[in-house]
Structure 1
Amino acid sequence: MDIATDTVTEIILRLRAVEVKEGATDPDSGSNPTDDGATDILVSGTDEATEAELRGLVAGLDVDERADLLALLYVGRGDMEPEEWEGAVRFARERDAAGEGGARALLAVPDAADFLAEGLERMGIAQDVGQG
């Protein structure tokens, strides 16, 4: 693989941070966190940078790293088997021809973080990221 396990782990952590966010459920509460049970902590706001950071991190990967990242997603999701790694990488490279598909693909898949972690596991790569 051309992508470092530490990089995949960082992306998994950022994806999990994005996945736990929800839409504005109490946008005009006007109260303090103690009064509303701190429910706004997991609500996305206009100053939310996690998704932008994730997009920047993925965009900063080179073509081979992005292809490996998406291939891990496909293997973890069960679309392809570990034995089909080269085909998964080729397919990922075709899908990410413009260079922006990586982050978009990850954010479009519910539980992408878990699929990436599963992909690492299925490929026999140890990593230190707990399941979500």
Structure 2
Amino acid sequence: MSDPTTNPPALAIAIDMVCHLIVKAREFDAQDVETDPDSGSNAADDGGVSILEAHGDDPTRAELVAFIEALDDDEQVELVALLWLGRGDGELEDWEDLRRQAREARNERTSAYLLGQPLLADHLADGLSAFGLSCESFEKDYL
């Protein structure tokens, strides 16, 4: 059996897709609760503070949901397994077991499950890091 630290298993999801999700999840996590839902204020006039407030019709959340739901089953399973790996539910040598558990737990609410996870972006980034991968170049190009 090969050593996963020197020969990590291949991912079924493209790293750019995970990195896109990480960047968008960070945008989503940066939001604050809505303080004045009936504000007649113009975001440009108040320094754009209301832009960082969460709204019911939040386009970032909608984009994340659409992105996750457009992934095939294997890619969704990998995201959940990466989340679990990144938050310390297993080690890289447990990858196949994490994938198996994610496949068994998979249902139609994967996007809601992922978006409900505190520190989603950080855990996905940590999961990639366990594979020796990072989103550094993606973030440079994106930002």
- TM bucket (normalised to shorter chain) is 0.7 to 0.9
| 2:56 maps to 1:69 | no
Match of 2:27 among 17, 29, 52: 17
- Runs ≥4 in structure 1, deviation > 6 angstroms? none
| 2:20 maps to 1:36 | no
Query: How many residues matched?
Result: 128
| 2:15 maps to 1:5 | yes
Partner of 1:101: 109
TM-score, scaled to structure 1: 0.87
Question: Considering only aligned residues, what root-mean-square deviation do their CA atoms show, in Å?
Answer: 1.7
Q: Is the 1:24–1:43 contact (alpha carbons within 8 Å) kept by the matching residues of 2?
A: yes
Partner of 2:4: none
Q: What is the CA distance between 1:102 and its match in structure 2?
A: 2.2
Q: What is the CA distance between 1:13 and its match in structure 2?
A: 1.1
TM-score, scaled to structure 2: 0.81
User: Gaps spanning 5+ residues in structure 1: where?
Assistant: none
One-letter amino acid of the structure 1 residue matched with residue 101 of structure 2: F
Change in Cα spacing, 1:47 to 1:125, as seen in structure 2 (3 Å) is same
User: Gaps spanning 5+ residues in structure 2: where?
Assistant: 1-10
In structure 1, C-alpha distance between the alignment counterparts of 2:109 and 2:42, rounded to whole Å? 39
